[in-house]
Amino acid sequence: MYPDRALGTGYAKTRGRSVYESSIDSTVINRGFEVMQIMKYRVLFCAIGLLGACDGSDSSGQAVVISDDSNSLGPADVISSLDGQVIISDVADIQDDAGGVDVDSEGADAHIFDGIGTDQNSHDTGGDVIAGEVDSAGKLGRLADPVVLLGAQLPTFHDVLPGNIVGFARRDNLWVQVPVQVDERVVQDFCEIYGKSSGLWTDSPACKTSSAITALFYADLNTFTGPDTNPYLDNDDEVVFMARDAGDRILYWEDPEQVISGSGVELELTDGDSVAYLYLFIRSGTVIEPAADTQYVTYDFALDGGADYLTGYDLYGYSCGGFNATCDPSMLEDSTVQGANYTRHFSARWVTDELRITAGDATGVDILDIHQNRFGPSSCGRHVLTYSTAEGAYVVNKNGPIRAIRSYLGANSGPLTQRVHYFYDKREDITTHLRVHALSIGVMDVFDYSENALGMVYYNDLNPGGLTIDGIPDAADESGLHQWEFVTGPQGSLVMTGLLDTSLDLGFAHFFWADNKVPSFGQCDTSTLIDAPDTSAYGTSGAWLDGALPDTDPKNGASDHIMVTRTIYYREPGISLDEALSLVVGAQAPVTVSTRTVGVSALGSACGDGECETDEACPLDCVPIDGSCGDGICLPPENSVSCFLDCPAGTGEDVVCGDGVCDQSVENQLSCATDCWPPYSDAVSCVDSTCAGSLDACADEAGCVALVVCVGPCVASGTAAYSCITSCSDSLMSSQIDVQTAQQMLLCGSTNGCF
């Protein structure tokens, strides 16, 4: 399910095939009459197949299109089309000193042009030219996949407001407006997203750091992320549309109505041997909108009680966790997503507890108990309920015509850990950025299905024979990391694949499966307010990074990264495995796109073909922008710690550990013992160097720090550590998770001789 990342969905720079630049030597076209040999084509249009006899005549009434730079046509060559149209391009190449080419079109117009629509000569015999009758057919078989372009691939739109960019496709020889969406992005400080400038902070940063650490985020005026600092389309913004909305290619140019003439950009979409086209323009007024009266998906973000996010959201929360602990998020939701093939529900920031497939004759029942993340089956110290109860913030909640975007931060001692949901009408992408201190145990990402999913059959490449979800334990092959998942039944079908983008060696990652009505491990059902998870493990399945993970938190100075994307297709019951796998292949090999300016007078250089031509103003090709550090765009998973060149940092409070002053807003006895707990600084330093992650885990939780500060002098006085922990936790009324975290750190430190 998780192949290595090359560059990322939507940004692949595979060179797309351009009809304008194809070079075909010694092409033979045989219509059953005679063979026409045409040498060294620069352009080959499908209409050439309509030619019949050697003189190029065709009585079918169809358009005849010839382009040739071999000078093989001469004054004696006659190309005719009865009741049709004749179009010859690259006239300078096919004329010779003897005089040129005779073009005869009975009852129609003949047009000779150099490039799209530039009329060089016309022998008018009384017919009318119907622009578009020579459109070249284009179509892709991608019914559920989006196309995501970087603004860097549309340099001519860089002084254009996103709301003025509109899309058109050619269908049945006419312009048809299609919906497009621009998602602006901004390099922002994590702490600003946590409301640093909101006035809502108390005596300590909700982001748990004083450092100004930046990354690229989706802009949103309705969160603390704020707007893009550049209101116009820029290199890091995204332009999105559905692949299925692309159409034919116009060969005789005309601008659609309500657009600025000459503003057109042609997008050539290539998917294997299939090609289709979509055109972007700048609108000339406000009569048409980018959405084209279309809403493919609807996202309703609704905090409990109608609370306003900017004024009423609890950015701090509280710490909880453990098998018997109660974790009730202070901020609940009743947020919903509805696409053509599914509905989803969120009851808290990290808690998605409903999934209904509505495609075809699916039953529409809720098949999901919870989308769970936890350290492992034996741990309930940290999971999606504890994430949602502790500090956190939303990056964006956007309801667009093409896709909705929901993104949020905060996972206990990983306050910069982030998840992004992209909702399309028939597909969802979920990207998780793990930014956390070192972990002695790994983390799981699993779907735990509900009782309504009983009877569905689960397949993946490790278990191609299928595993029936029935609550009865069965043996599954969990020996490696799966490449795809397919879950199907009368309830509908889920087809899933994924992408693991990491700088680390995660060879210990593997598939996890549990199907047991009464499981041997706890389900972390710790909330009294949220009815999830339940007490069963029905078809619980997904990826398990089953090993120690090094530090990936930039606030600790870490530059390593783990970014995981899960792609889900929502389909009707009864689809075949072959059809499911075709979706997987499509998700792992996105459509490639080449763009170029287009219009009556000229064709621009292809942007996105991987070549920087002379005078080409295409950052994608000419910088080039390829996701590497130094390409000028702060593309995920980059941040200001891992790539300051692309992600410039803002101004932090510049709190320095070791300056002799304990700044209690951001420093404590464990995060900076030198300043805040000098008598124990050597012991704390020893723990930090020998117990990877355990010190950071405790230092990020005020309750754990308070417990350790109480235990330290108690043990130093000669009292047994166990007695000290018990008495201190009782007096402080420490939470179960704080006691567990402190015990783990103290045991590790003792084992390594730190005290």
Residue 675 has pLDDT above 70, yes or no: yes
Torsion of Cα atoms, 607 then 611 then 617 then 623, to 10° = 110
- pLDDT at residue 707, as a whole number: 94
Q: What angle do CA 720, 725, 728 make, to 5 degrees?
A: 120
So what's the pLDDT on residue 601? 59
**pLDDT: which is higher, 359 or 42:** 359
Helix (H) or strand (E) holding 581: helix 577-588
Rounded mean pLDDT of 408-435? 98
CB atoms within 10 A of CB 494: 26
Tokens of 629: 């550090």
According to the model, what pLDDT value does residue 650 have?
66
SS3 at position 262: coil
Calpha distance 711→701 (Å, rounded): 16
What's the rounded Cα separation, in Å, for the pair 462 and 481? 8
Residue 651 has a pLDDT of 61
Q: Within 13 A of 401's CA, how many CA atoms are on the CB side?
A: 19
Give the pLDDT of residue 692.
73
pLDDT class of 653 with cuts at 50, 70, 90:
low
Helices and strands: H and E segment counts in the chain:
12, 35
The residue-averaged pLDDT of 623-636 equals 95
Query: How far, in Å, CA of 267 to CA of 597, rounded?
Result: 9
Among 388, 286, 376, residue whose Cα is nearest residue 335: 388
Report the pLDDT value the prediction gives residue 475, as an integer from 0 to 100: 95
Q: Kindly state the tokens that stand for 428.
A: 């969802």
Tokens of 230: 């550049």
- Identify the burial level of 415 via C-beta atoms within 10 angstroms of its C-beta, where 0-12 means exposed, 13-18 middle and 19 or more buried: buried
For tokens 């922002």, name the residue: 188
Gap between the Cα atoms of 489 and 477, Å rounded: 21
Q: What are phi and psi of 694, to 5 degrees?
A: -70, -35
Q: Quick check: 25 pLDDT over 80?
A: no
Per-residue pLDDT of 44-85, as tens digits, reads 223 333 333 334 434 333 434 443 344 344 433 433 333 334
Which pLDDT score, from 0 to 100, does residue 602 have? 60
Give CA–CA dist 367/374, Å, rounded: 20
Least confident of 156-170, 592-606, 740-754: 592-606
More confidently predicted of 626 and 101: 626
* Residue 451 scores a pLDDT above 90: yes
Host H or E run for residue 410: strand 404-411
Q: Given a cut of 90, is residue 612 above it in pLDDT? A: yes
- The residue that leads in pLDDT, 346 or 103, is 346
Convert the pLDDT of each residue in 118-137 to its tens digit: 333 332 222 233 443 578 89
pLDDT tier, 701 (very low <50, low <70, confident <90, very high otherwise): confident
Buried b (16+ CB within 10 A) or exposed e, 67-82: bbeeeebeeebebbbe
pLDDT score for 111: 36
Distance CA 159, CA 136 (A): 31
pLDDT for the residue numbered 289: 98
Max mean pLDDT range (195-199, 214-218, 324-328, 743-747): 214-218
Average per-residue pLDDT for the chain: 84
Give the pLDDT of residue 110.
36
The edge-to-edge listing of strands for the beta sheet with 404-411 is 393-399, 404-411, 414-423, 427-434, 562-571, 492-502, 484-489, 457-460, 463-468
* For residue 659, pLDDT beyond 60: yes
Q: Of 266 and 19, which is predicted with more confidence?
A: 266
The highest-level CATH class for domain 298-588 is mainly beta
pLDDT of residue 735: 87
pLDDT value of residue 571: 98
Percent of the chain with pLDDT over 90: 70
Residue carrying structure tokens 């299925």 = 244
Is the per-residue pLDDT at 238 higher than 50? yes
Structure tokens at 58: 């065709």
pLDDT tens track for 559-569: 999 999 999 99
Reported confidence tier of residue 649, pLDDT bands at 50, 70, 90 = confident
The arithmetic mean of pLDDT across residues 141-163, rounded, is 97
Residues 704-721 pLDDT 10s = 999 999 999 999 999 988
Q: Which amino acid is at 436?
A: V
User: Kind and range of the H or E element at 394?
Assistant: strand 393-399
Indicate the angle between helix axes 736-751 and 702-716, nearest 10 degrees.
50
217 φ/ψ angles, rounded to the nearest 5 degrees: -130, 160
**pTM metric for this prediction:** 0.81
| pLDDT score at 132 | 39
Q: Which residues of 564-587 are buried (b: 16+ CB within 10 A; e: fewer)?
A: bbbbbbbbebebeeeebbebbebb
d(CA 288, CA 310): 32
pLDDT of residue 2: 54
pLDDT of the residue at 488 = 98
Structure tokens that stand for 119 in this block: 């009329």
Tell me, what's the pLDDT at 615? 83
- Bridge-based pairing of strands 181-183 and 238-242 is antiparallel
Q: What is the CA radius of gyration of the chain?
A: 31
Question: For residue 605, what pLDDT is reported?
Answer: 84
Structure tokens at 706: 């308070």
Q: What pLDDT score does 126 carry?
A: 28
Contact partners, residue 616, CB within 8 Å, separation at least 6: 605, 607, 622
At 88, the pLDDT band (50, 70, 90 cuts) reads: very low
Question: Tell me: the pLDDT tens digits for 547-559?
Answer: 999 999 999 999 9
Neighbours of 305 (CB within 10 A): 9
Angle between helix 702-716 and 721-732 (nearest 10) = 140
The reported pLDDT for the residue numbered 321 is 84
